Structure 1
Amino acid sequence: MARPLASLIVSAALAAAAFMMAPAAAWSDTVGTAAAVKPASTGTPPGGSKRTLQVGTAIVARERIQTTNTGSVQLMFNDKSTMTVGPASDLVIDDFVYNPNAAGNGRFAARLTKGALRFVGGEISHTAGATINTPVATLGVRGGAAFVTHDSLCESKKAGDSGCTRIVCTGGVCSVRNRVDSRSVQLRVNQAIEIGRLGSVRFNVTSVRLNDVARGGNGSLVMGKAGNKATGFSAQATVDQTVKQAPEPAPPAAPQ
């Protein structure tokens, strides 16, 4: 009986060691937390099961964030970047590398395939810059903020199979590249661009909220000339709800 008992003891010790190591490994992939949630919003970690996000839920690298037609979530990342994801959205945190003791070498990349988001850059965006991709556009944000939406139809009626992206620069420098024809443009604050498969339309705005650029339902985005109030919705009852911006929460607490 001595040999089987010894084997059990060794197995138990190995299992305990693995259990003790698991939280540290999980934390090493943690890139931020869910700071504010309006049901229903879910996250799917790489290789994991879909879970309902709650305030304080840890967000990991390569996690897929999805919201319903009535859901939204605000994410706070470890570098103090914030991202508010609007209703009916689908987003993946493709890459996040941040070391507060090694300035200038971080990376931040996310991919929006449907819906709307508001991004406010943290430390990474002030040094290396942050990147947000859609099926038709790549946005680089350096030291600033932007609204991004992607859906199936452009105002110019020139969207293709990959849909249409609208970007509004609300701070810093916003560099936009059309992924279809590789043309690039740099937006100043309160400038915006709409990109579809067959071309792009550039316009100015005077003020903007997330629901001003997220079409939602059958609402239409009204674009004006420079100096005019360039964004707004036509009166449509089916426009998605306003996403209220939550106050900036405290940074996530360190693991115990």
Structure 2
Amino acid sequence: MATMRLWVLAAVFFWTANALAMEDPVIGYVKTVQGEAMVLAAGETIQAEPGTPLQLGYVLKTGSEGSMGVTLKDNTVMSLGPDTELVVDDYLYSPSKGDLKLDASMSQGSLNYISGVIAKLKPEAVSLKTPAGNIGIRGTHFLVTVEGKD
């Protein structure tokens, strides 16, 4: 009987670990927030605060007097200014396997970007889409402003 319980517990443990591994992995964290800043995830609006985990596809949004600082797992730093909307569309960070990619899209606002490991190891794997066109990241630091929809 004790052996049966042990097998059941082991099965539950491995099933739970497998289910957790299937979830979208955390790609970074909110580091700083001033004013109104939120994360839109799966139809939910979460008030951003330092330590908020970020996953692929989350919408990062700031209000008219808000700002938010984000650090991704590869140490990419993004500072969003007021009235900014940004989404990380694709993110791969597994340097040992050569899997490196960072694609983001920004519909409005301002972004101060400082390259992390992905851009340093494989610059062509990083891009930012805006309504005016795509920005290929070849340097380590840039500032972009996108006019909002009026």
State TM-score, norm by structure 1.
0.49
Asked if residue 122 in structure 1 is aligned to residue 116 in structure 2, the reply is: yes
The match for 2:102 is 108
Give how far 1:39 is off: 2.7
Aligned residue type for 1:97: L
Give the alignment of 1:62-77 within 5 angstroms. 62-77=57-72
Q: 1:22 to 1:69 in 2, by over 3 A?
A: farther
Task: Return the alpha-carbon distance in structure 2 between the equivalents of residues 34 and 20 of structure 1.
Answer: 26
Give the alignment of 1:128-143 within 5 angstroms. 128-129=122-123, 130-143=126-139
Task: Return the alpha-carbon distance in structure 2 between the equivalents of residues 91 and 109 of structure 1.
Answer: 11
Give the alignment of 1:75-94 within 5 angstroms. 75-94=70-89
Give how far 1:53 is off: 1.0
Aligned residues: 139
Task: Return the alpha-carbon distance in structure 2 between the equivalents of residues 18 and 43 of structure 1.
Answer: 30
Q: Is the radius of gyration larger for structure 1 or structure 2?
A: 1
Give how far 1:18 is off: 6.2
Query: How far does the alpha carbon of each residue in 1:165-189 deviate from its partner, in whole angstroms, 9 at most, with x for none?
Result: xxxxxxxxxxxxxxxxxxxxxxxxx
Contact 1:127/1:142 (8 A) holds in 2: no
Task: Return the alpha-carbon distance in structure 2 between the equivalents of residues 25 and 94 of structure 1.
Answer: 18
Contact 1:131/1:139 (8 A) holds in 2: yes
Asked if residue 55 in structure 1 is aligned to residue 50 in structure 2, the reply is: yes
Q: 1:135 to 1:102 in 2, by over 3 A?
A: same
More helix by share: 2
SS at match of 1:92: strand
Gaps of 5+ in 2: 1-7
Give how far 1:102 is off: 3.0
Asked if residue 146 in structure 1 is aligned to residue 142 in structure 2, the reply is: yes
The match for 1:158 is none
Give how far 1:127 is off: 2.5
Q: 1:21 to 1:50 in 2, by over 3 A?
A: farther
Q: 1:63 to 1:118 in 2, by over 3 A?
A: same
Q: 1:143 to 1:126 in 2, by over 3 A?
A: farther
Identity in percent? 24
Q: 1:51 to 1:150 in 2, by over 3 A?
A: same
The match for 2:4 is none
RMSD: 2.4
